[in-house]
Structure 1
Amino acid sequence: MMESRPGERVLAGVFAFIAGFIDSVGFLYLGGVFLSFMSGNTTRSATAIVDGNWDMVRVAGGCIIFFLLGVINGAFTKRIVVRALEETRGREFVLVNVSFWFVLSSVLIELEHHSAAIIALSIGVGTMNSIFERNGEVAIPLTYMTGTLVRTGQRFVDAFFDGRHLVWILNLSLWLSLSVGAIAGALAYRLLGIHAVELMTLITLVTVAINQLVRDHRRRAGLPL
């Protein structure tokens, strides 16, 4: 987070919010299975195998598989675009890719193909992990926060040993963004049911559009991207 520009930090916070929103909606709709927390789904699958709950194994295992496919999709998109165009275009195309899956999910919900909509949503969430990819690694995690909380604790201690308080505050803010998103997602699901996904899709589209306008301005001005 420290290496990122303020605008990138804001974008990361918004997408962490979106990840939390989606995870809550998926968790409530699927009855305790996550769309972004794959460690939790691994535990759910493992305990379900022991209990012989094969429906849970299928649902939790399926979410893991489609999330992984989304990660592959995002990484593939980033690498193809970087090779064909330039490094700075990679994030923009990944964001368009994410938007596509969320729009598809919303359309499928309107057509009452809810299971297919959840699959599209899972792929979209997995794809999000390539938004802040640098040198083949995730620079800012958006869909998982265990490592972020660990860094928050470590950098908090470092602040008393010649470190900077801003470092742990930035990490904590990312976790808070996901938490607020999760609360918002749960509230939206109580009000709208699975159609809460459409609200999340609108937020995503607006965010991606604003990000593109900002990047186009910075590109014309010769500013870093």
Structure 2
Amino acid sequence: MKDVDRGALTLSAALSAVAGFVDAVGFLDTGGLFVSFMSGNSTQGAVAVLRGDASLALVAAGVIAAFVGGVTVGGAMSIRTARAQTWVVSGAAVVVAVAAALALGGSTTLWRAGLLAAAMGALNTLFLADGRARIPITYSTGTLVSLGLGLSALVTGGSRRGWQRPLLLWSALVAGAVIGGVTHALGSAAALGVAATALAAAAAVVAVRGRRTPRPR
């Protein structure tokens, strides 16, 4: 995270806010499942198995599979160029827009949850290095670990700024979740429409950044 420039960090924070927004909408729609936080769904699914709730266990597994599928598609595009990043964010915007249209048509919530999970999974492939995500866009556990390590460095005489970027990303995700929860009162279709619009705007920013970035010779 510390090697990412300010422009990319700002974009990441904006996308984290959208992820929190979408996760809150998905959580409220499904009554307790997440579309960007798969650790929570893994625990939910395991508890459901222990309780004999096969339906919930299968739904949790399906959402997790959709998320992994989104990551797989994004990773397969070899996120190394700005153009590939533009396609990933644009694709996520389209998928969320489809979910909004399905909500407007009164479709099953589970189909929408799967689409949203796939879109959120793909966003985590925007900043890769050595096969790993340098910046976790849609989940906060790794970000909080980085925050804790940054604070430990601060109190032991190390870097004085290492905690700032993780705090920014975590705060953006939480703020997005709060806004998503409030916006959900307007209806799932409207809330997801807002998220799709935000992702489309982010895709435009990524495209502009790509044109400004010098191509390697």
**TM-score, length-normalised on structure 2?**
0.91
User: Could you tell me which residue of structure 2 aligns to residue 200 of structure 1?
Assistant: 195
Structure 2: give runs of 5+ residues left out of the alignment: none
* One-letter amino acid matched to 1:99: A
Aligned residue among 83, 93, 96 for 1:89: 83
Matching residue of 2:46: 46
One-letter code aligned to 1:150: V
1:185 corresponds to 2:180: yes
Offset from partner CA, 1:95-154 (integer Å, 9 cap, x none)? 222222222222322333243332221111111111112232101001111111111111
Within 5 A, what are the aligned runs for 1:130-145?
130-145=125-140
Matches within 5 A, 1:59-208: 59-78=59-78, 87-115=81-109, 116-208=111-203
Contact 2:89 2:202 in 1 (8 A): no
Rounded to whole Å, the distance in 1 between the matches of 2:126 and 2:98 is: 19
Percent identity between the two aligned chains:
30
Shift, 1:190, TM fit: 2.0
Moved over 6 A (4+): none
189-198 or 169-178, which deviates more: 189-198
How many matched pairs?
A: 215
Q: Distance in 1 between matches of 2:61 and 2:159?
A: 41
TM-score (norm: length of structure 1): 0.88
Q: Provide the C-alpha distance between the structure 2 equivalents of 1:90 and 1:137, rounded to a whole number of angstroms.
A: 16
Q: SS state of the match for residue 167, structure 1?
A: coil
Which fold has the larger relative contact order, with Cα–Cα distance below 8 Å and residues 6 or more apart in sequence? 2
* Greater helix content: 1
Query: Residues 78 and 94 of structure 1 are in contact (CA less than 8 Å); yes or no, is this contact kept in structure 2?
Result: no
Q: Specify the SS of the correspondent of 1:159.
A: helix
* SS at 2:78 equivalent: helix
Root-mean-square deviation (CA, aligned residues, Å) is 1.9
Answer yes or no: is the 8 Å Cα contact 2:16–2:176 preserved in 1.
Answer: yes
Provide the rounded CA distance (Å) in 2 between the counterparts of 1:19 and 1:105: 14
2:15 aligned with 1:15 = yes
CA distance in 1, matches of 2:127, 2:83: 12
1:194 positional shift: 4.4
